[in-house]
Amino acid sequence: MKNLFKTGILMGLTLLVSCQDELTQAPIGLTTLEQANSAPTLNSVENSVNSSYQLLSNRLNILAQWDWGGGLVFQNDYILQDIASDDMEKKWNPDGDQTWMDEINNFSFTSTNGGPNGLWKYDYEGIKRLNIAIELLTKSDIESITGITSARKNQLLGEAYFLRSYYYFSLVTNFGDVPLILAPVKTYQEAFEVAVRADKNLVWDKIKSDLVLAKALLPNSKYSSTTEKWRVSKGAVIALQAKAALYTQKWPEVITFVNELAPLGYSLNANYFDNFSTSKEFTDNEVIFSYDHQSNTNPRKGNGICAPLDWGFFAPSTDFLNSFEANDPRKLLTVDIAKRNVNKMLGSLDGANKGNDDAPTNKVYMRYADALLWKAEALNETGDYAGAIAIINQIRGRARTTVTATGGTAPVGTLIDRPASSDKATVKGWLISERRAELGFENQRMLDLKRWGIAKAVMTAHGKNFQDKHMLYPIPQSEIDASAGTLTQNAGY
């Protein structure tokens, strides 16, 4: 098997010709390029897409065995978006463990830091697998060769286009210009040719065009499959279309896309924590896209990040705790300070799953409350202040009436509605506060601060040494070295 499992650009995606020397274990269920080109089967077609979901998992050691320094033990979303922000600290008790996380926290990191390195490798490994899947699924004779039905082929292809868009969304928002690789890389020469950064606008264009293809291929229903509810749905595609429009400031498009979600069956859950509870997975109304973690499977599919929570990792900052309004139920539903439990990450309110490296807790990526707040932002930007405030108050209304972490209700007067206003800056300030309370510890904070253009001011006020260069993370130095300098570095690193 030629050079298949290396990750990154020239250390993986582009050197798509490597055995297992970069990894310590072969991915189970991965469709190889040879299988895609020679003798595809129904099983290899299914696996070509299913294996591409794995890079969204919080399962431990997907790409290597305990490579902490390389940022490969688990997905680095919590480090790069939450610890880097003013919301989260690395641990409840500061210590010298995993200093690369401290470097992200205090903005002293360099291009050799494991955080950006892990993010880059996870995303491009996902893209590598998806390029194989798309090449396989778009073979003109794939149905006659494998016996796959047209409906299933279209569904899988729609999922693949969405997932590739999702990985590129992660790359372009964190690194800016990135190599745009849209087909399997088959030779060393091709590897060097594609290791060139494409303008971020081209990346955004491809994200959006892939989502158009995905939308047309997926069933017009809340779930693509009633028996596999974890799969990408049309709602997930629409939500990512809205988010891509948000990040590129296409405000009318944001409103249009978000309006398409409710007819598919999405709404706010009556109770806030139903979004995260393991007992409510795939039965709630609000979660649009999540990774389906399951315990006791072979290969393992559990949420491994619940284990570091028992090792003292991931604690709220004082600033985050102080940012909540009085009696806001979302504070304790997010994190139990007294018991040192990050409830959202555990999927429980009683500490269940803490320490379990094979927990059943799903990882939520997009939910309807988040999308509604995108719409509120777009309405505010287009002058519909009343519409924006109405959505903000809708989110606050759910929060104040939700069942609290202790099983009660919030006191009367909690989270009163925002009053009418025609001042754009005032409404924007309310929106910023609401997103922080509603979406804390959901990997949104740093990306929000950056796209709003206030990251430097907020981080400086928080005592962090945020510089202009930190608007983007550095391209991993190992990737630049492997490309012999063809891959260029972000300014300032």
Which tokens sit at 101?
């996380």
- Kindly state whether residue 457 falls inside one of the protein's structural domains: no
Instruction: Let me know: does 13 contact 7? Beta carbons within 8 Å.
Output: yes
Stretch 224-248: mean pLDDT, rounded? 98
Closest CA to 121 of 9, 220, 278, 240: 9
Are 441 and 468 part of one and the same domain? no
Range of the domain at 112: 1-208+463-493
Stretch 129-133: mean pLDDT, rounded? 96
The Cα–Cα gap between 395 and 400 comes to 9
Q: What is the CA radius of gyration of the chain?
A: 22
What is each CA distance from 392 to 1, 245, 430, 445, in whole angstroms?
54, 20, 8, 17
- Kindly state whether residue 149 falls inside one of the protein's structural domains: yes
User: Using one digit for the tens of pLDDT, what is the confidence trace for 243-255?
Assistant: 999 999 999 999 9
> At residue 205, does pLDDT exceed 70?
yes
pTM (two decimals): 0.94
Q: What is the pLDDT of residue 25?
A: 44
Q: What is the pLDDT of residue 52?
A: 97
**For the chain, how many structural domains are there in total?**
2
229's CB contacts (< 8 A; 6+ apart) are 223, 282, 292
Are 282 and 166 part of one and the same domain? no
Are 369 and 489 part of one and the same domain? no
Percent of the chain whose pLDDT exceeds 90: 89
For residue 290, the cross-strand partners are 364
Are 249 and 357 part of one and the same domain? yes
What is each CA distance from 110 to 22, 106, 197, in whole angstroms?
22, 12, 19
How does DSSP assign 332-359, residue by residue? Answer: HHH-BTTTTB-HHHHT-SS-TTTT-TTB
Q: Using alpha carbons only, what angle is made at residue 51 by residues 147 and 8, rounded to the nearest 5 degrees?
A: 130
CA atoms within 13 A on the CB side of 264: 25
The Cα–Cα gap between 258 and 368 comes to 9
Are 194 and 239 part of one and the same domain? no
- Kindly state whether residue 407 falls inside one of the protein's structural domains: yes
Are 237 and 306 part of one and the same domain? yes
- Kindly state whether residue 89 falls inside one of the protein's structural domains: yes
Are 201 and 246 part of one and the same domain? no
Stretch 99-115: mean pLDDT, rounded? 98
- Kindly state whether residue 423 falls inside one of the protein's structural domains: yes
Stretch 289-303: mean pLDDT, rounded? 96
Q: What is the pLDDT of residue 34?
A: 63
Are 203 and 263 part of one and the same domain? no
Are 198 and 236 part of one and the same domain? no
Say how many Å lie between the first and final Cα of the chain, rounded: 37
Instruction: Let me know: does 223 contact 233? Beta carbons within 8 Å.
Output: yes
The Cα–Cα gap between 230 and 227 comes to 9
Residue 189 pLDDT grade (very low, low, confident, very high; cuts 50, 70, 90): confident
Q: What is the pLDDT of residue 106?
A: 97
User: Using one digit for the tens of pLDDT, what is the confidence trace for 36-85?
Assistant: 666 899 999 999 999 999 999 999 999 999 999 999 999 999 999 999 99
Are 224 and 204 part of one and the same domain? no
**What integer best gives the mean pLDDT of the chain?**
93
> At residue 315, does pLDDT exceed 90?
yes
Are 126 and 12 part of one and the same domain? yes
User: Using one digit for the tens of pLDDT, what is the confidence trace for 377-425?
Assistant: 999 999 999 999 999 999 999 999 999 999 999 999 999 999 999 999 9
Are 331 and 402 part of one and the same domain? yes
Q: What is the pLDDT of residue 484?
A: 87
Report the residue count for the chain. Answer: 493
- Kindly state whether residue 213 falls inside one of the protein's structural domains: no
For residue 363, the cross-strand partners are 291
User: Using one digit for the tens of pLDDT, what is the confidence trace for 140-171?
Assistant: 999 999 999 999 999 999 999 999 999 999 99
